[in-house]
Structure 1
């Protein structure tokens, strides 16, 4: 599930729920570096994979997230092979990549307490890239072929918007594009995931062969849950303002 509240306490609650992974979001959430660090620390003691999504495919931001100790990254808006290659370069030290060397100052190396960290760091990082545009779907086979891309994740909301179908991520054309990406990933032998909050849609993609799926978010669970309480216990009032 997504963790979008910016709260380390909420992240810890979610991490202890029995889920496989929590995705700490830096793209659409009020998460700065200090907040992401606190959430990584909060979930560290739980048997859950912590994935972190930066706001953009940017070498400097990715370097900072890695130095905080993020080991699984989900990079948004990867549209081309060149975008994927840039993401791979950002997560590796030279000569393979361009990650800046500051391990003595970083939590990722436990401040140089991990022997040979800079030589082994690339082996501790998993890189997922997001396929969330019509252009990315066209390029998905090439993106999957990039050495260092470990998995792809399809974002139907932005994909639908790029196809002129804003808000219609369950439109047949969008779902067909998602299935195209699933098939491409299977052919490439790499894992593929998708975002699907509607249970029926999530089950559809599970049946279609996705390897992982994001089925909720802390903020949406709170929003819908609190609305349910209000609906059950507050008398209906005509014209009640939302704000």
Structure 2
């Protein structure tokens, strides 16, 4: 058996080394086959989405294993900012976590605390039983775990945009990821991610992140808008999802060949 095991570098280190914005795709289907196809396609990173997808802890583990043979870095999004769930997702081997709906510095601080062992944080100690340390094959995991992790919090409401400076100032928040869909909804513009007011709020948050020296990403399935955000300085973006590609291309084929 090879020993010791060295974990991949975390997403914040990847961003620091990158010469261009890192582009990724969602894995929302729960299919390990789809996850492998996406991870092997050449993207820089993938998002294993535990918020809007029917994923159990076992599903998350399966998807992490499916993409581990490829260069695309996996990030896992939790369904909620919860200390117990963060502990479980970390123990599954999720090195890069995304926390949705972070509206304040206090909520960001709670996420940071859940990411780290005492005395810095409150993460429960169980790595010898878990994939995170490869069942104790990673030397000195307990004292070096923080170096292998990255935390991204989502700014996706008008309240979060208002509090962006305070959220960005939280030590331990490595990156923020802007969600224009929920942001638009919170602004009374549901379904209008490209409304000028929404785009202005996104761009203002991008500028604040750059000023604070924090990495910033955004979700944008409209490719022209994605490019505009990259031109505005985002460090990473998501531009598609496995389920949306399958749905859209299936419907296009059916429209072309099956309509009367």
- Identify which of structures 1 and 2 has the higher relative contact order when contacts are C-alpha pairs closer than 8 Å and 6+ apart: 2
**Are 2:129 and 1:105 equivalent residues in the alignment?**
yes
* Match among 50, 56, 65 for residue 74 of structure 2: 50
**Are 2:27 and 1:3 equivalent residues in the alignment?**
yes
C-alpha distance in 2, partners of 1:69/1:93?
15
TM-score, normalised with respect to structure 1: 0.96
* Match among 195, 198, 204 for residue 174 of structure 1: 198
C-alpha distance in 2, partners of 1:84/1:4?
25
What's the counterpart of residue 60 of structure 2? 36
* Match among 114, 121, 132 for residue 156 of structure 2: 132
Matches within 5 A, 1:215-234: 215-234=239-258
Deviation at 1:131, TM superposition (A): 0.2
What's the counterpart of residue 165 of structure 2? 141
What's the counterpart of residue 235 of structure 1? 259
Deviation at 1:204, TM superposition (A): 1.3
User: Alpha-carbon deviations, 1:187-234, whole Å to 9, x = none?
Assistant: 011110000001111111111111111000000000001001101110
C-alpha distance in 2, partners of 1:122/1:45?
23
Matches within 5 A, 1:36-115: 36-115=60-139
Deviation at 1:104, TM superposition (A): 1.2
Structure 2 alignment gaps of length 5 or more:
1-24
SS at match of 1:215: strand
User: Alpha-carbon deviations, 1:99-156, whole Å to 9, x = none?
Assistant: 1110111000111121210111011000000000001001111111100000000000
SS at match of 1:176: helix
* Match among 177, 198, 201 for residue 225 of structure 2: 201
**Are 2:46 and 1:14 equivalent residues in the alignment?**
no
Structure 1 alignment gaps of length 5 or more:
237-243
- Greater CA drift, 199-208 or 141-150: 199-208
Deviation at 1:54, TM superposition (A): 0.6
User: Alpha-carbon deviations, 1:26-83, whole Å to 9, x = none?
Assistant: 0000111001100100100101100000100001111110000000111100000001
Deviation at 1:235, TM superposition (A): 2.4
